[in-house]
Structure 1
């Protein structure tokens, strides 16, 4: 269907060649009848529309079509009917399709009278474009989604044209149809039946649509431009994953993870398969490190720097294939913080009790939220330790984290303090001290 935009483009082209634009009103005597518009019917390439106003009812409307090329009047059209408005101010259209010898642009000369006796004769009230209206209405695509195994889209259809004189719609063979996506394009020539087909690769994530167009053809000036609808194309990306394995997930304070292996895989139709020759990257091993996967998708990262606190080792792959998703993996590593006793001292206070006290230290970067200390007793000091009391929480005293307790005891033996901090803190055992019987 010819649009106002397409015909306007024709008008602009003709103006560039020195021909007046359609709809331009030529100078005319003030007869009382005015041509307000004279142009093609935008929905029918074989008819034209006049918009006239007059003091009284307009009648005897006639149009002469004049060829600039031949300097001859080639047709006179007189079968105009009022289609909207009133006879004093309304639009008129010819009943039958206009028959002209050739496609082209023709000057519209208007004559008319009205009931009051006014007479109008104009030269050049507009231009009538006797043109073929093309269409790509049956255009289709072979898929609406691209994926890992289907990376192109084929668009096909027929370029058809409606002829202005007969209204017949026929194939338009031997013409160029352009096909475009975001960053791909192709030009194909229509077959004798107007058919065309083009396949475009979809290699850019911004390729999300495809369209066919018949554009301005300098060899067929009066074939209108036309376009198919814009076909939206979705992307279905395939999942990938990295399986990461640090050599250790629990290390001592200021220790290192000696190595970390990573395996890159993609979700194939037969299950997870390796991706070889791909660069994995990480900032978790000092400066940015890249390692290339082998044929089995495996890569090994070097030792970490000395670690003082818990960390997360991260490995990532930025996909070099628009149909494969990026992948990341992370592994938590716990750094066991140091703990030790600065002092421990048990003292018999009377025949029934032993008083114990001491200090702990945590020289790493972390301190436990609570610090329970177990007080233990053994008659030999070589085993058989029994927890006889637990201090609920050591507190900072300026020297260390102090604890104290009074434990009932009437037996000679050995005493010590213990702290169980795993997994985040080291276990600690104090020195052993002997306390005699009363």
Structure 2
């Protein structure tokens, strides 16, 4: 808009500057004269809207001419017949009689201004008015009004969209658009209130009689913080490296008058074995209970864990605990044998494979067998490693013709569970039948013959030819038997051995097996020597 400047050459000595709307109900304009010794005498504005024209005599304010008062609608006692955009024409005259006229000098936006109703300093109200750990959802309400220009009269703005936005640091804003009712009031559905969330309402109206954008001051509901205690424990109390343990517990409000719903609190369980260690995040159930599974960290004889709980308006201090973690373990150089007498012997070393300098004394190793090598493992003996050495020797009795064997260390507070290689060992069962010493009775110094048959259980009891068999004599009343002689069985497994009889006692044939057979024993035969 170009101001009407004074032009003495053309006789126009009065200048009119740009119109400056002060508010929607008033405006001002600078006016001057270049005539020597002259002053501006009067300025008249004519406002045009549709078929209406409103003349207004402006008042001087040191060269700036203003509307003498706020413009009001005729219904409010003023001179403006209707709301709308009024085009302003200006005529200015100085006291020398020089006059300048400027049409379409500006526009007065004489329309209703949107505004939010306030109660005190607050624009929004909340239902419920306060939030806490047990009730942290709230709806925002307000009222959109229109301020008529030139007065303090407000009217409700119905059918207008209001955008209510929840702002919270680090969280995507939550936006709801609601429509005002006949009384200008609006209410959102319930928001999930966060610890630092605030709300602001914005409305933009662009209609012939109502124009503008209004935004409320950020507001929030009253907040009630509730202190709480965390209790937790872990199980099992002892685990091996890499195994799982469970931390269980609950969050309990200190204020028993507070709402008891503790559903959905965020619970984080952190293993503090080393920075960046295992952690688990879960949520409480409706009773405040939680459960988290962690993995035990290797190379630490105990893992410290801590629990924190967070939730809207909850102040819960952390709690902590420990779980014993055994070091990794493994068997090295394991060797298992099955002797002919049924004795199983295992040797080797039980070590901590990731710590070459660690030696754990008195670690128990069990010798076990299974029929199928997978299930039903049964212990037949156990022994501890030597002091200051990882080596061990463990024996057990298992006269089994075919079975699987292994060594097994059960989890303890020093070493984790370890299982050695599984081996299958087998021998053929043997026996001596028909052990008989003749003649009987016998005279002292005479030769006695002891005979019997050696059998092996190969798909049934069959003769065992070519096997070495010993003869033993057990004097009556003696503690043990004495070796006498030996021989080999014939093709039918039979054997007859001879000795001189001098004392009363028991004669018996013994078979001490070989690389594939178990021992075989006969039933002793008593002979009376006379």
TM score, norm. by length of structure 2 = 0.46
Partner of 2:153: 169
Q: Which residue of the other structure, out of 310, 313, 331, is the alignment partner of 2:305?
A: 313
> How much does 1:128 deviate?
1.5
Q: Would the alpha carbon gap of residues 60 and 201 (structure 1) be closer, same or farther in structure 2, given more than 3 Å must change?
A: same
Partner of 2:197: 208
1:38 maps to 2:19 = yes
> How much does 1:267 deviate?
1.6
Q: Which residue of the other structure, out of 181, 186, 195, is the alignment partner of 1:190?
A: 181
Range moving further from structure 2, 33-42 or 306-315: 306-315
Q: Deviations over 1:270-307 (max 9, x none)?
A: 38887699876444698556788788725374773555
> How much does 1:265 deviate?
1.6
Q: Which residue of the other structure, out of 292, 296, 299, is the alignment partner of 1:304?
A: 296
Partner of 1:431: none
1:92 maps to 2:66 = yes
Q: Deviations over 1:57-84 (max 9, x none)?
A: 21121112234xx4x6722222x222x3
Give me the whole-angstrom Cα distance separating, in 1, the residues matched to 2:152 and 2:46.
24
Partner of 1:355: none
Give me the whole-angstrom Cα distance separating, in 2, the residues matched to 1:32 and 1:258.
97
Give me the whole-angstrom Cα distance separating, in 2, the residues matched to 1:232 and 1:105.
38
- Name the structure, 1 or 2, with higher relative contact order (CA <8 Å, separation 6+): 1
Q: Would the alpha carbon gap of residues 34 and 309 (structure 1) be closer, same or farther in structure 2, given more than 3 Å must change?
A: farther
Give me the whole-angstrom Cα distance separating, in 1, the residues matched to 2:222 and 2:264.
28
Q: Deviations over 1:351-396 (max 9, x none)?
A: xxxxxxxxxxxx669xxxxxxxxxxxxxxxxxxxxxxxxxxxxxxx
1:180 maps to 2:154 = no
Partner of 2:86: 106
Q: Which residue of the other structure, out of 147, 159, 163, is the alignment partner of 2:145?
A: 159
Give the greater-gyration-radius structure (CA).
2
Give me the whole-angstrom Cα distance separating, in 1, the residues matched to 2:22 and 2:271.
68
> How much does 1:180 deviate?
0.8
Aligned ranges for residues 6-17 of structure 1 at < 5 Å? none
Partner of 2:100: 120
Aligned ranges for residues 265-276 of structure 1 at < 5 Å? 265-267=251-253, 270=256
Give me the whole-angstrom Cα distance separating, in 2, the residues matched to 1:28 and 1:73.
28
Secondary structure at 1:229 match in 2: coil
Kept in 2: contact 1:161–1:172 (CA 8 A): no
> How much does 1:315 deviate?
4.2
Aligned ranges for residues 244-259 of structure 1 at < 5 Å? 244-246=232-234, 259=245
Q: Would the alpha carbon gap of residues 274 and 137 (structure 1) be closer, same or farther in structure 2, given more than 3 Å must change?
A: closer
Q: Which residue of the other structure, out of 16, 30, 33, is the alignment partner of 1:51?
A: 30
> How much does 1:121 deviate?
0.9
Paired residues, number: 300
Q: Would the alpha carbon gap of residues 48 and 301 (structure 1) be closer, same or farther in structure 2, given more than 3 Å must change?
A: closer
Partner of 1:381: none
Q: Which residue of the other structure, out of 42, 45, 59, is the alignment partner of 1:60?
A: 42
Give me the whole-angstrom Cα distance separating, in 1, the residues matched to 2:138 and 2:245.
42
Q: Would the alpha carbon gap of residues 93 and 159 (structure 1) be closer, same or farther in structure 2, given more than 3 Å must change?
A: same
Aligned ranges for residues 425-436 of structure 1 at < 5 Å? none
> How much does 1:130 deviate?
1.9
Q: Would the alpha carbon gap of residues 216 and 238 (structure 1) be closer, same or farther in structure 2, given more than 3 Å must change?
A: same
Give me the whole-angstrom Cα distance separating, in 2, the residues matched to 1:257 and 1:207.
40
Unpaired stretches in structure 1, ≥5 consecutive residues = 1-23, 338-362, 366-438
Q: Would the alpha carbon gap of residues 292 and 61 (structure 1) be closer, same or farther in structure 2, given more than 3 Å must change?
A: closer
Q: Would the alpha carbon gap of residues 308 and 153 (structure 1) be closer, same or farther in structure 2, given more than 3 Å must change?
A: closer
> How much does 1:154 deviate?
3.3
Structure having the larger proportion of residues in strand: 2
Kept in 2: contact 1:211–1:228 (CA 8 A): yes
Partner of 2:170: none
Partner of 1:81: 59
Give me the whole-angstrom Cα distance separating, in 2, the residues matched to 1:212 and 1:294.
35
Partner of 1:345: none
Aligned ranges for residues 223-262 of structure 1 at < 5 Å? 223-233=211-221, 235-236=223-224, 238-239=226-227, 241-246=229-234, 259=245, 261-262=247-248
> How much does 1:118 deviate?
3.2
> How much does 1:243 deviate?
2.1
Q: Would the alpha carbon gap of residues 256 and 331 (structure 1) be closer, same or farther in structure 2, given more than 3 Å must change?
A: farther
Secondary structure at 2:205 match in 1: coil
> How much does 1:316 deviate?
4.9
Partner of 1:5: none
Give me the whole-angstrom Cα distance separating, in 2, the residues matched to 1:37 and 1:117.
22
Unpaired stretches in structure 2, ≥5 consecutive residues = 73-78, 167-173, 328-356, 360-530
Kept in 1: contact 2:165–2:201 (CA 8 A): no
Give me the whole-angstrom Cα distance separating, in 2, the residues matched to 1:292 and 1:224.
46
Kept in 2: contact 1:244–1:330 (CA 8 A): yes
